[in-house]
Amino acid sequence: PQRYISARAYHHYLDALLAKNADDLVTAAEELREALLYDPESAYLHAVLADVLIKQARIADADAELASALSLDPRHGPAHLLSGRIAVSRNQPMQARDHFQAAIEAQPDDPDAYRELVRLLLSTGDVAAAQAVAERLGERVQPAQGAADEDDDALVAADRLREQAAAVFVEMGRWWAQHGDERAAERAFAQARSASPADPEALIAEATFLEARRKYADARERYLRLLAQRPESPEVIAALARVALAEGDVEAVAAHARKLLALAANLEPSDGASGDREDERRDVSVALLRVAVPLLGAHRSADAQLALEGALRLYPDHPELSFYRALALVQRGRPHEGALAFEAVERSLRARGEDPPSPAFLGIEPDALLLDAQVQSALARGRAGEAPESTRRLRALFAEHPAEEGVALALLEAFDRAGKAAEAEQVLAASVRAHPEAGALLYPLGSAQDRAGMRQKALSTMRKVLAVQPQHAGALNYIGYTLTERGKLADLREAEDLLARAVELRPDDGAIADSYGFCLLKLGRASEALAELRRADRLTPRDPVILSHLGDALLAAGKKEEALSAFRRALALLLPGSKRRPLAAEAQAMIDPPDRADRDGPRVRAEIEKKLKALAP
């Protein structure tokens, strides 16, 4: 027979639920104690009171209520679940495990205990047991789904079971991915998809995993399924843009930027307070910035500038957004205008004092952003023809920040622009001797040695960079490309490993993609090389070196006519300005103009002319 429930107890219980839902935990606890006066034998009421007490951080009192609940009903699932959580907080994994297992036995279709147990087992390293628990939960989904047609409560329970099963398999997938077992991670994400095919958290977790493994087509498919659910999600649109860029599809990136601009156009500018639709404004602006930054790297600064100006309409004069807009101006061949914009950012940051820009988008510290603005302003002055002023400013900044890689690289650029790379090498070498602990100076020094023609010293210095910073993409690329040029099999094998790591770190860098593709070509893997070099050409269009390597790969793949076209395009870019065939005005406007002539231009031109002569005498 069903146990009698006091009407007064039920009345106080309902009042407790209302108070709990209103976050009035004190009243909720009082009402539950009143309910227990009329129904002291209710394990359920003791467990609900324990839950409220836990939320009030009254753990000892909650413990007492849970002990009462379990003395009344040793198989009470909610009491075991809460007892397990308390045991976890006290670092008592064995007790927690026992409670979670008891909760599962008592309520096999309640997913919370499964998830808590999986987390506990993963934290203790018992991944096999965690996998078994996850699969046990997965096995409950199908029967629950079959019973869902019977009534609404069963449908709600089945939906919750399906969602939690997907979440548990996502946690398993992330664990396997973090521990390097790609196949196990793929299997776990597939199980999450099987449990709940449209679950947004499962889709985004799997898409992120696939993207990190450079499985861009699969990642894009997951993001598109997510976009079907959230067609105006800035986060998802930005993710699709990121994947498109990694594939070298810059046109798709620009299209995603236009979609974000359309979303931004429907929002009013910020009034400086967290007012109406502030979260939407921030999310759209973050997405626009995250799309604009890689567009700058792909030399599509016109598109980047449009995206940044869309975000600046929502947050006028925001220092982070204004900084990247200034970069776009410089890259578009308007260095004087860019310098003035950087100096405006500097004034804005100084006026704020210690008050950081709000909202924060990329999380750049105000001091770091201020230094970057000063450095970029000085560089822009140099590009605008003010070489002495540029060098003066950068010398002063380097004296003030001798251990900053960005400042040292900027100083090198200023010297190199003036034809003084050897002098820069001396300055940087002296600074390395004066600051031997400053590992950040090694990469600028190696770059200076390379530009001064000291190739062997540069290679040695770049190896020192990797000893200090194993994930330095620039050093990985330099060493990898240098070894590739040597062409010996042992060098090529080392280069492949280094360049694969560089591509993983910076998948949207056309120069790194070119190095990797060139290495694959030298290793005799023409089809792989061709795919990577096509990607490099899309990421960094109109680069003669990339086009030359692409032509070599096309030739190796038996595509002679396409190879001839690539070589001719490369040669056209190296001809004096008066002899070049101009591009269509619109296309020209979309791609950044060259900052200056490539020092290796004559050598590259001679190599390409030789190739063309051999192919089409």
pTM for the whole structure: 0.78
Among 131, 107, 106, 423, CA closest to 117: 131
Residue range 235-255, pLDDT digits in tens: 999 999 989 988 888 889 889
> For residue 577, what is the DSSP state?
G
Would you say residue 202 has pLDDT above 80? yes
**What pLDDT was estimated at residue 356?**
83
- Confidence (pLDDT) at 144: 76
Establish if 516 belongs to a structural domain. Answer: yes
Residue 493 included in any domain: yes
Q: What percent of the chain lies above the pLDDT cut of 70?
A: 93
Quick check: is 456 in a domain? no
**Residue 404 contacts by C-beta under 8 Å, 6 or more apart in sequence?**
371, 440
> What is the mean predicted confidence (pLDDT) over 439-459?
95
Residue 593, pLDDT > 60, answer no
Residue 503 resides in a domain: yes
pLDDT at residue 465 greater than cutoff 50: yes
Q: How confident is the model at residue 149 (pLDDT cuts 50, 70, 90)?
A: low
pLDDT at 598 over 90: no
What is the band of 298 on the pLDDT scale with cuts at 50, 70, 90? confident
User: How large is the average pLDDT for residues 567-585?
Assistant: 67
Which residues constitute the domain of residue 587? 485-615
534 in any annotated domain? yes
Q: Is the pLDDT of residue 147 over 70?
A: no
Instruction: Give the DSSP letter of residue 583.
Output: P
* 518-530 mean pLDDT: 97
pLDDT band (50, 70, 90) for residue 588 = very low
In whole angstroms, what is the distance from residue 256 CA to residue 270 CA?
23
Half-sphere exposure of 590 (CA within 13 A, CB side): 14
pLDDT tens per residue across span 152-182: 677 787 888 889 999 999 999 999 999 989 9
Backbone angles phi, psi at 582, to 5 degrees: -70, 145
Question: For position 592, which CATH number holds?
Answer: 1.25.40.10
Q: Where is pLDDT greater, at 91 or 5?
A: 91
> What is the arithmetic mean of pLDDT over 189-205?
91
pLDDT in tens, 345-356: 999 999 988 788
580 touches 588 (CB < 8 A): no
pLDDT above 60: residue 580: no
Question: Mean per-residue pLDDT for 32-44?
Answer: 94
- How confident is the model over 383-423, as pLDDT tens digits? 999 999 999 999 999 999 999 999 999 999 999 988 899 99
Give 274's pLDDT tier (boundaries 50, 70, 90): low
Q: Is residue 579 part of a domain?
A: yes
pLDDT of residue 154: 74
DSSP designation for 488: -
User: Total structural domains in the chain?
Assistant: 1
* Rounded Cα–Cα distance for residues 588 and 566 (Å): 18
| CA distances for 390 relative to 51, 169, 238, angstroms | 65, 56, 36
Distance CA 315, CA 575 (A): 44
Contacts of residue 419, Cβ cutoff 8 Å, sequence gap at least 6: none
Residue 245 resides in a domain: no
Confidence class for position 1, pLDDT limits 50, 70, 90? very low
pLDDT of residue 261: 96
Per-residue tokens: 593: 């103009």
Q: Is residue 548 domain-resident? A: yes
